[in-house]
A and B are shown apart, each in its own frame.
Chain A
Amino acid sequence: MKSRKKWSQHLYKTPQDRPISATSSLSDNVDYLQRSCFYTDDLITRNLPYNNNKAMILYLVSLSDVEKIQKAIVEPLLLLKNCSVEEAVPVNFKKTNNLVEAEFALNAGQCLLVSEGSETIYIIDTYIPVKRAIEEPGNEQVIRGSHEGFVEHMQTNLHMIRKRINHPNFTVRQFIVGRLTNTKISVLYINKLAKDELIEEIERRIRSISSDSIQTPGFIEEFIEDTPFSPFPQVLNTERPDRVAANLLDGKAAILMEGSPTVLIAPATFFSLYQSPDDYNTRSLVGSFFRLIRLASFIIAILVPAFYISLISFHYEVIPIDMIFSVKSGLTNVPFPPLIEAAFMQITLELLKEAGIRLPRPIAPTIGIVGGLVIGNAVVQANLVSNIMIVVVAITAISSFVVPSNEMSTVLRILGFPFMIAAATFGFIGIVFALMLLLMHLCKLESFGSPYFAPFAPINWKDIKDTIIRVPRWKMNTRPKDAHPSIEKNEYYSREWKNNDKQK
């Protein structure tokens, strides 16, 4: 603890450093500010005499809105004589006599107004955010429902969430982390609904971040998650405001970061990674069907290659007699053991996928030709891989892409490998043990104090309503318990009209 304090104190300046008070000499103050920025070339200083007093404004031209400075600071001060700064400047400002604070404000795109004979420095808000248009996130598309996605500007993102939850209990807490990057992050939750302990725990973990830089939400995730070496994501990543709003309404908390469209939601459960906003826009029967398909995809992605390997290397007798000949005929010419075959195909697939992401768009179709024709067909003709193995790997790949969460889909494909190895060494028993190990791991995981594999471990029948199936909304009377929300009921009797009908 001691060494940590030392480290943070002596490396870089922080806004919390001991304040340095401004003097009444204009040149001294400006000199300090310029020196503190090491005379960086995008620092603009300009003389701006007003009320017959010498004064200067300083701003970073790269972050500040020059037009706004012109309109809101320079023009009023030059035109309005005998008028104080408070009266003349029409935009938000703050006063300080702490040079350290002024220095950091300058670096956050604010404009400083320093005048002769005064120790007060005006910090005037002239920051201009550069943002792109709101688009649908490419990695989380839906068929029906909102097509908005987060952007790199936090205020815009907050706007998108706030317009979905118009309630005074919706709370935003801001933190600044990273001593060099000074990244703004916000924790969002609905007060009185999210459990206090959860919010305290998240805030405690965020406060303990003591790092030079926070560049992506992935940094925050790795700093605050419970089990860093688990393959499963314990925080939900999303770029969809509707998904964030839905989770906030379940009593969870969201973490936004300036400069990234990805929002973290904590606590996450295994099944929350399998929910998509699409499910709630389709009829409940259809939604349930999709949920079951996704669950099946999890089992298929992990088990099918392993099952196939154990079948053809240990348990031939399980294959029905009519099928055994076709399986055998495909295998006779292949010189490799099934594990090598499967691993070869899986790795090829990963290569194709990775190449598909990196390739520039105009030459992307090449991958389709190489992957589909050359590898799919030629590999079998060259007797490197059996026909059925191609089918198995293809099914595995497709089902791993069914998961709505991209991290999870990669996890699925990675988990396939240990299962294949277990199957190749111990057959069915290997698979059973690997499955047990996976299940034990899932039972063990906890995300911010909530069991990860809820509602199955621990079993809670009530909460299955929104996991492997999706019951109609009017049946979801209570919130899922995994985030321990303080208010359990979320729906009373919205279909009361039906009863009224009958009574008439």
Chain B
Amino acid sequence: MINKNDTITPLQSSLLIVQSQVGVGILSLPYSVHAIAKQDAWLSTFLAGFIVNGFIWLIILLAKRFPSQSLFQYTPQLFGKWVGNSLSLMYIIYFILVGSLILTLYLNVIYKWVFDETPIWATLLLMVLISIYLAKEPLRVIARFHGFVTVLILGLIGMVAYSYITIDIRYILPVGQSGILNIFKGSKEAAISFLGYELLLVVFPCILNGRKSALKAATYANLFVTLLYGFVVFTSLIVFSPIEIELVPEPILYMLKAFSSRVVDRIDLLLLSIWMVCVTTSYVTYIYLGGKGIQTLFSLKKQSTAVIIAAFLTYWIPLFLQGEVKIAAFSKYVSNISYIFTIGIPVLLLLISLVFHRKSKEQSL
């Protein structure tokens, strides 16, 4: 059961979702979507946001049937002990994989832009240890932190807006040139950056008045993220010409690197600092989710032990995963399985619970 002490308000849950969604992907989002949808990448981004909202709706529909239990608690009820627990285990593995993907991409950018000589294990350890410090806390503490650092996203928007001095709107014209199919394909690419909303599967019972407010909160959060991503992609598309953007994997950083002010040169480093906070928050969310799963599955008493195990598991993959090709393959793999976990299994669970009229009894457990 959920500790009564550990509830978060709808606003907090919104910000929690925002911070989990906005993360490592935002830097390369314009590049990767542009690779498929070309000059209509911004349409793809908005479309992705729209589709993701549908996913969120389905997840909440499922969660509402078990309002006081997390995914890890109700799967054994739906399927029995063995199937249910192995489903939980799969989710734990998924959360850990996403966690290590975040770490991998983070390291990749950091080594490209800031350090190239610091040992990998040290940079990685710094990130993991600091995240454990937060993730071992109750959800309300995590929500407080995520909520506070959302202010930084405003700074990020401001910095991106700085580049509006050198835009050319003709770069995106004519709208719709890449065709519907490519726009849809592009949105599949963009959807990976929206990941993070699946935390609702686990934290739904902690949301105060979750039955009524969760959908609204999650929708607002997703709307905000969609607008933010749309803005970022749109700006990159009109700042860089179609040929330029194919050469720059992190367009936002490049466009800020070009500017210098009288007070600070290299605004991109400041942007990178904000981005690091966003990455940390997403990573914290995933090791929290993984840890929560481990705690429930193995009935551990302490959340901190479970979180440390989860974080430790995520630590190894980035250490051995070097080189652009391997990273791209890993990223592709995780993005493919993410569809299974964010929409496939929840829909299956929803159908089963609807067909067999399985619902949590309020007093059970």
- B261-309 contacts to A, CB under 8 A, are 261-266, 269, 272-273, 276-277, 280
**B190: min CB distance to chain A, Å:** 27
The size of the chain B interface, using a CB distance under 8 A, is 36
- B94-139 contacts to A, CB under 8 A, are 110, 114-115, 118, 123, 126-127, 130, 133-134, 137
Is the pair A440, B11 in contact by a Cβ cutoff of 8 Å?
A: no
- A416-474 contacts to B, CB under 8 A, are 426-433, 436-437, 439-441, 443-444, 451, 453, 456-459
Is the pair B265, A317 in contact by a Cβ cutoff of 8 Å?
A: yes
Q: How far is the CA of A456 from the CA of B11 in the complex (A)?
A: 13
Main secondary structure of the interface of B (DSSP, over half): helix
User: Which chain A residue shows the least CB distance to B140?
Assistant: A458
Q: Give the chain B neighbours of A456 by CB distance below 8 A.
A: 148
Is the pair A457, B263 in contact by a Cβ cutoff of 8 Å?
A: no
Q: How far is the CA of A387 from the CA of B12 in the complex (A)?
A: 46
Is the pair B114, A428 in contact by a Cβ cutoff of 8 Å?
A: yes
Is the CB of B145 closer than 8 A to any CB of chain A? yes
Is the pair B149, A458 in contact by a Cβ cutoff of 8 Å?
A: no
Is the CB of A168 closer than 8 A to any CB of chain B? no
Is the pair B145, A443 in contact by a Cβ cutoff of 8 Å?
A: yes
B129-171 Cβ-contact flags toward A at 8 Å (1 or 0): 0100110010011011101110000000000000000000000
- A384-435 contacts to B, CB under 8 A, are 426-433
Stretch binding the partner chain, chosen from A73-81, A116-124, A242-250, A318-326: A318-326
Q: How far is the CA of A321 from the CA of B263 in the complex (A)?
A: 10
User: Which chain B residue shows the least CB distance to A431?
Assistant: B273
Q: How far is the CA of A436 from the CA of B266 in the complex (A)?
A: 22
Given A437-B133, A453-B144, does the pair A458, B269 have CB atoms closer than 8 Å? no
Is the pair A443, B114 in contact by a Cβ cutoff of 8 Å?
A: no
Q: How far is the CA of A440 from the CA of B135 in the complex (A)?
A: 10
Residue of B133, B137, B145 with most partner-chain A CB within 10 A? B145
Q: Give the chain A neighbours of B18 by CB distance below 8 A.
A: none
The size of the chain A interface, using a CB distance under 8 A, is 27
Q: How far is the CA of A459 from the CA of B19 in the complex (A)?
A: 14
Is the pair A319, B265 in contact by a Cβ cutoff of 8 Å?
A: yes
Given A320-B263, A426-B118, A458-B12, does the pair A437, B130 have CB atoms closer than 8 Å? yes
Residue of A321, A426, A430 touching B265 (CB-CB under 8 A) = A321
**A415: min CB distance to chain B, Å:** 16
Residue of B262, B263, B269 touching A428 (CB-CB under 8 A) = B269
Q: How far is the CA of A459 from the CA of B149 in the complex (A)?
A: 10
Residue of A317, A428, A433, A439 touching B145 (CB-CB under 8 A) = A439
Given A320-B264, A457-B147, A459-B147, does the pair A443, B277 have CB atoms closer than 8 Å? no
Given A436-B280, A439-B149, A440-B133, does the pair A317, B266 have CB atoms closer than 8 Å? yes
B242-268 Cβ-contact flags toward A at 8 Å (1 or 0): 000000000000000000111111100
Q: Give the chain B neighbours of A444 by CB distance below 8 A.
A: 134, 137, 141
Is the CB of B33 closer than 8 A to any CB of chain A? no
Is the pair B145, A457 in contact by a Cβ cutoff of 8 Å?
A: yes
Is the CB of B237 closer than 8 A to any CB of chain A? no
Is the CB of B56 closer than 8 A to any CB of chain A? no
Is the pair B265, A459 in contact by a Cβ cutoff of 8 Å?
A: no
Given A458-B12, A459-B11, A459-B15, does the pair A318, B148 have CB atoms closer than 8 Å? no
**B78: min CB distance to chain A, Å:** 34
Is the CB of A489 closer than 8 A to any CB of chain B? no
Is the CB of A315 closer than 8 A to any CB of chain B? yes
Q: Give the chain A neighbours of B126 by CB distance below 8 A.
A: 426, 429-430, 433
Is the pair B130, A429 in contact by a Cβ cutoff of 8 Å?
A: no
Is the CB of B331 closer than 8 A to any CB of chain A? no
**B13: min CB distance to chain A, Å:** 11
Q: How far is the CA of A458 from the CA of B11 in the complex (A)?
A: 10
User: Which chain A residue shows the least CB distance to B8?
Assistant: A458
**A300: min CB distance to chain B, Å:** 16
Q: How far is the CA of A61 from the CA of B280 in the complex (A)?
A: 67
Is the CB of B360 closer than 8 A to any CB of chain A? no
Q: Give the chain B neighbours of A453 by CB distance below 8 A.
A: 144, 148
Is the pair B130, A436 in contact by a Cβ cutoff of 8 Å?
A: yes
Is the CB of B9 closer than 8 A to any CB of chain A? yes
Counted as pairs of residues, one from A and one from B, with CB atoms less than 8 Å apart, the total is 83
Q: How far is the CA of A317 from the CA of B133 in the complex (A)?
A: 32
Is the pair A432, B265 in contact by a Cβ cutoff of 8 Å?
A: no
Q: Give the chain B neighbours of A439 by CB distance below 8 A.
A: 145, 148-149
User: Which chain B residue shows the least CB distance to A434?
Assistant: B130
Q: Give the chain B neighbours of A433 by CB distance below 8 A.
A: 126-127, 130, 276
Q: Give the chain A neighbours of B123 by CB distance below 8 A.
A: 426, 429
Residue of A436, A458, A459 touching B277 (CB-CB under 8 A) = A436
**A271: min CB distance to chain B, Å:** 13
Q: How far is the CA of A320 from the CA of B123 in the complex (A)?
A: 28
Q: How far is the CA of A443 from the CA of B114 in the complex (A)?
A: 29
Q: How far is the CA of A317 from the CA of B272 in the complex (A)?
A: 15
User: Which chain A residue shows the least CB distance to B267?
Assistant: A318
Is the pair B262, A429 in contact by a Cβ cutoff of 8 Å?
A: no
**B139: min CB distance to chain A, Å:** 12
Q: How far is the CA of A257 from the CA of B292 in the complex (A)?
A: 45
Given A429-B114, A433-B126, A458-B12, does the pair A318, B265 have CB atoms closer than 8 Å? yes
Given A457-B147, A458-B147, does the pair A427, B114 have CB atoms closer than 8 Å? yes
Given A429-B110, A459-B147, does the pair A320, B265 have CB atoms closer than 8 Å? yes
User: Which chain A residue shows the least CB distance to B126?
Assistant: A433
User: Which chain A residue shows the least CB distance to B275?
Assistant: A432
Q: Give the chain B neighbours of A318 by CB distance below 8 A.
A: 264-266, 269
User: Which chain B residue shows the least CB distance to A454?
Assistant: B144
B1-15 Cβ-contact flags toward A at 8 Å (1 or 0): 000000001011001
User: Which chain A residue shows the least CB distance to B149?
Assistant: A439
Q: How far is the CA of A432 from the CA of B130 in the complex (A)?
A: 11
Q: Give the chain A neighbours of B265 by CB distance below 8 A.
A: 317-321
Residue of A320, A432, A437, A459 touching B273 (CB-CB under 8 A) = A432
Q: Give the chain B neighbours of A317 by CB distance below 8 A.
A: 265-266
Q: Give the chain B neighbours of A427 by CB distance below 8 A.
A: 114-115
Q: Give the chain B neighbours of A440 by CB distance below 8 A.
A: 130, 133-134, 145
Q: Give the chain A neighbours of B269 by CB distance below 8 A.
A: 315, 318, 428
- A319-348 contacts to B, CB under 8 A, are 319-321
Is the pair B144, A458 in contact by a Cβ cutoff of 8 Å?
A: yes
Q: Give the chain B neighbours of A315 by CB distance below 8 A.
A: 266, 269
Q: How far is the CA of A459 from the CA of B134 in the complex (A)?
A: 18
Is the pair A428, B141 in contact by a Cβ cutoff of 8 Å?
A: no
User: Which chain B residue shows the least CB distance to A319?
Assistant: B265
User: Which chain A residue shows the least CB distance to B136?
Assistant: A444
Q: Give the chain A neighbours of B143 by CB distance below 8 A.
A: 458
Is the pair A432, B263 in contact by a Cβ cutoff of 8 Å?
A: no
Q: Give the chain A neighbours of B266 by CB distance below 8 A.
A: 315, 317-318
Residue of A427, A430, A439, A440 with most partner-chain B CB within 10 A? A440
Q: How far is the CA of A444 from the CA of B273 in the complex (A)?
A: 22
Q: How far is the CA of A443 from the CA of B142 in the complex (A)?
A: 8
Q: Give the chain A neighbours of B277 by CB distance below 8 A.
A: 432, 436
Q: Give the chain B neighbours of A441 by CB distance below 8 A.
A: 133
Q: What are 10 A-B residue pairs whose CB atoms fall within 8 Å in the complex?
A: A318-B265, A320-B262, A320-B263, A426-B126, A427-B115, A430-B126, A439-B149, A443-B141, A444-B134, A458-B143
Q: 5 extra interchain contacts, Cβ-Cβ under 8 A, other than A437-B130, A444-B137, A459-B12? A: A318-B269, A427-B114, A427-B115, A432-B276, A456-B148
Q: What 8 A-B pairs are tightest by C-beta distance, nearest first?
A: A457-B144, A443-B144, A457-B148, A443-B145, A440-B134, A432-B273, A318-B266, A459-B147
